[in-house]
Amino acid sequence: MPSILVETAFITNPVEEKRLNSGEQREQLASAILSGVRNYFETAPPPGTVFSANAERSRSERLASRKAATAEADEVNDESVAARVPRS
């Protein structure tokens, strides 16, 4: 299981300590940490997790979309060829 250590500030630094006392700053830090963790798990989803299931669903949807687009393009090409072939 991956792990992280996040050092958001040093409370020995008065300026950074003051920032950490701000609820808005803590919210921004938490949001940035969540974004990074989510991005990591979406990029490299561990097997058997929700992230893995979502990645598989997304792959299936992309594949189905590509197949539909290819079938549609083939149909347009077939119609175009049929329109050019002289009828006897």
Q: What ranges do the domains of the chain cover? A: 14-84
Measured between alpha carbons, how far is 71 from 75 in angstroms, rounded to an integer? Answer: 6
Query: What is the residue whose two structure tokens read 């189905």?
Result: 64
pLDDT reported for residue 74:
75
Low pLDDT (below 50) residues in the chain: none
pLDDT value for 78: 65
Q: What is the pLDDT of residue 66?
A: 87
Q: What is the pLDDT of residue 15?
A: 93
Nearest to 69 by CA among 77, 59, 57, 80: 77
Give the C-alpha separation, 27 to 39, whole Å: 18
List pLDDT tens digits, range 46-55.
Answer: 899 898 999 8
Q: What is the pLDDT of residue 70?
A: 86
Taking CA atoms, 26 is separated from 5, 21, 50, in Å, by: 16, 8, 27
Supply 20's token pair: 């950490």
